[in-house]
């Protein structure tokens, strides 16, 4: 067994073929590794994301620098990379950028793998053949296409101006490499979602973070530094509900919880500016300033409308700090 995903291989008919590709397929796939992360049981994200996290990473530096999706390594105490030939290489998490959702890992022993070149997803056309690849070679890579570029707002206070959506859905998408027709890295797998297919049947697609979000933050992230000032965080888990934003839940002990925001509340405005969508809410919240700023919210609860002030914090202050041995 070379991959923990060996029971979740891509169907043979969906696997990529080297025929007519402009790059060495097997060499490119060797740059994708399996990533295992272990998180302490008392970590802030342990309940929501689990204490054992399994996904993928992509070698982007000859010195063992590996790119992944940030939620896999958030608060990770140990990280292990598994190469295509089954070698297990210890690593540590360098950092996670909450704005893009990307994370970096440093291998602590030589990987002996080529770095996948960074591309630019703006050059992808809808009819371009793409590959979404997990660690483990061709059996864990899927041929597909870009089906949409669109904004994406996540309930955990996350927003991308433009995300990449690919089909068909990959069975182990977290941290997978989105490889373009030239063999360059175009994005990193983040989520699996369902869309309505012709005929009314749902089909699975993947949301990927575009690779061009990495270069502006790469130097800081690789040095373990925060790449930008911390955004204000309220600890609100919300979703779109018509033309309002509906609170599903709040983080226990977080700013919204302390301000007595509850699940079922509707957020109507931030600082007097109406919000019509989750993306609206985030943009108006983040426009108030850096973490620590007070967020004046207008809230509707069971027919009553009232104003409440919530003092934001830096989300990272709730996370366990990395330990260096």
Note the pLDDT tens digit of each residue in 85-129.
999 999 999 999 999 999 999 999 999 999 999 999 999 998 899
Whole-structure pTM value? 0.95
Angle 262-268-270 from CA coordinates, rounded to 5°: 95
The pLDDT value recorded for residue 219 is 97
Residues 5, 150: Cα–Cα separation, whole Å: 30
Residue ranges for the chain with pLDDT beneath 70? 1-2, 197-198, 322-325
| Residue-wise pLDDT tens digits, 147-186 | 999 999 999 999 999 999 999 999 999 999 999 999 999 9
pLDDT computed for residue 325 by the predictor: 46
Domains of the chain: 1-227 (2.40.10.120), 232-318 (2.30.42.10)
Residue whose entry in the numeric block shows the structure tokens 């690779």: 211
47 phi/psi in degrees, rounded to 5: -70, -40
Task: Give the HSE-up count for residue 45: Cα atoms under 13 Å, Cβ half-sphere.
Answer: 21
Q: What is the DSSP secondary-structure string of 2-55?
A: --TTTTSPPPGGGS---TT-SS-HHHHHHTEEEEEEE--TTSTTHHHH-SEEEE
> Residue 314: enclosing H or E segment and its boundaries?
strand 313-314
Task: Return the percent helix, strand and coil in the chain, to nearest 5.
Answer: 15, 40, 45
Q: Element (H or E) spanning 178, and its range?
A: strand 177-179
């Amino acid at each position: 067994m070379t991959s923990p995903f060996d029971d979740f291989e891509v169907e043979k008919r969906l696997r990529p073929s080297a025929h007519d590709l402009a790059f060495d397929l097997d060499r490119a796939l060797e740059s994708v590794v399996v990533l295992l992360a272990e998180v302490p049981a008392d970590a802030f994200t342990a309940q929501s994301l689990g204490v054992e996290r399994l996904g993928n990473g992509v070698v982007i530096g000859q010195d063992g620098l590996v790119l992944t999706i940030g939620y896999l390594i958030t608060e990770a105490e140990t990280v292990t990379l598994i190469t295509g030939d089954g070698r297990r290489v210890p690593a540590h998490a360098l950092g996670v950028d909450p704005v893009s959702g990307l994370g970096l890992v440093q291998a602590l022993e030589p990987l002996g793998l080529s770095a996948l070149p960074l591309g630019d997803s703006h050059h992808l056309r809808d009819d371009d053949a793409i590959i979404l690849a997990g660690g483990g070679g061709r059996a864990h890579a899927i041929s597909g296409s870009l089906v949409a570029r669109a904004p994406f707002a996540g309930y955990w206070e996350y927003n991308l101006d433009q995300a990449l959506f690919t089909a068909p859905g990959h069975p182990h998408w977290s941290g997978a490499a989105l490889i373009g027709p030239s063999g360059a890295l175009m994005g990193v797998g983040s989520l699996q979602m369902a869309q309505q297919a012709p005929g009314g049947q749902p089909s699975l697609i993947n949301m990927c973070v575009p690779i061009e979000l990495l270069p502006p933050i790469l130097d800081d992230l690789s040095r373990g530094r925060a790449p930008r000032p911390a955004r204000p965080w309220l600890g609100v888990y919300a979703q779109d509900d018509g033309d309002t934003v509906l609170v599903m839940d709040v983080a226990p002990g977080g700013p919204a919880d302390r301000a007595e925001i509850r699940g079922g509340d509707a957020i109507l405005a931030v600082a007097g500016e109406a919000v019509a969508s989750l993306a609206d809410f985030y943009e108006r919240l983040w426009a108030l300033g850096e973490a620590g700023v007070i967020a004046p919210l207008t809230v509707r609860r069971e027919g009553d409308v009232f104003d409440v002030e919530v003092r934001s914090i830096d989300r990272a202050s709730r996370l366990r700090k990395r330990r260096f041995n």
